Amino acid sequence: MMSEWTIGVIGGSGLYAIEGLDDVQEIAIESPFGAPSSSVIIGYIHGVKFVFLPRHGAGHAIPPSEVNARANIDVLKRAGCTDILAISAIGSLREELPPGKFVIVDQFIDRTHLRPSSFFGTGMVAHVSMADPVCPRLSHLAEAASREAGAATHRGGTYLAMEGPQFSSRAESHMYRNWGADVIGMTAMPEAKLAREAELPYALVGMVTDYDCWREGEDAVEVEAVIAQMGANAEKARQLVINLAKNLPQSRSACPIDNCLDFALITAPEARDPQTLAKLDAVAGRVLSK
């Protein structure tokens, strides 16, 4: 029996090679928001449909500021995803979150500034709530799957999304700690915002690769060390996805995020731009067709 869930997984290379992925297909899906990072890999694990999308493309060719998050989320919506699990490498801003720790993020501070952060705009304005930016149900399931995979797992944490591609200065790292941020990365925003606009419940598992540069006597962050820790984390991340598939309830009950656009659209029907509406056919078609 097939599950009612279709889980989109946004992550690094290698996740599509999970052992036990059945009926694998690679499909190129076009988006009106431009080119996504990659074709999607679709397959089944324990009867659950998964749609995998490498955030940085094949061979990690796309830098953070140039990841087309709008196209990526739009494509996952077009592929029929019901929920999105993001898996990301992160730096730690807390002593108790050492390299190798998996953090189930529940809040964000967005410091990005070069990236389109909404599907909506002139001709169709909408405002969604980001007070609680992740799905608690999916986050709980991801936490359980992470612990079952043998990963040291921490539930909850604030993710500071920086623009990059450079790593932080020491002054910035200390400032982010004072703001209450726990981990730092370059890709979760505007990804999480766009998932909310597309009515896709979103959870983020951050895999700590390094302490940021705030620690006294700590070497500056170097890519070589980050890559080495990413490799050590990768097998647990793959097992996490398998565990998630195994543990999902057979029946997917409704989530409030599924209908979050019901009270978000503000542009009067007569003022809506047809060209803008046409681009929103996947992410907002449910409410725009009413």
Q: Is residue 132 annotated as part of the catalytic site, yes or no?
A: no
CB 148 within 8 A of CB 102: no
DSSP alpha helices (H): ranges in 149-290?
Answer: 170-179, 188-197, 223-247, 274-279, 285-288
DSSP letters of 69-124? HHHHHHHHHHTT-SEEEEEEEEEE-STTS-TT-EEEE-EEEE---SS---S-BTTB
Q: For residue 189, which of 36, 86, 40 has the smallest C-alpha distance?
A: 86
Q: Give every CB contact of residue 156 below 8 A, 6+ residues apart in sequence.
A: 104, 105, 106
Rounded Cα distance, 283 and 261, in Å: 10
- Catalytic residue of the set 110, 212, 273, 281: 212
Crossing angle for the helix pair 136-148 and 223-247, to the nearest 10 degrees:
110
Q: Is cis: bond before 165, omega within 30 of 0?
A: yes
Within the chain, how many helices (H) and strands (E) appear? Answer: 7, 11
CB 5 within 8 A of CB 82: yes
Q: Which residues of 100-129 are buried (b: 16+ CB within 10 A; e: fewer)?
A: ebbbbbbbbebbbeebeeebbeeebbbebe
- Catalytic residue of the set 74, 210, 258, 262: 210
Q: Is residue 74 annotated as part of the catalytic site, yes or no?
A: no
CB 218 within 8 A of CB 138: no
Task: Look up residue 26 and give its two tokens.
Answer: 């690679």
Question: What's the one-letter identity of residue 239?
Answer: Q
Which active-site residues does the annotation give? 210, 212
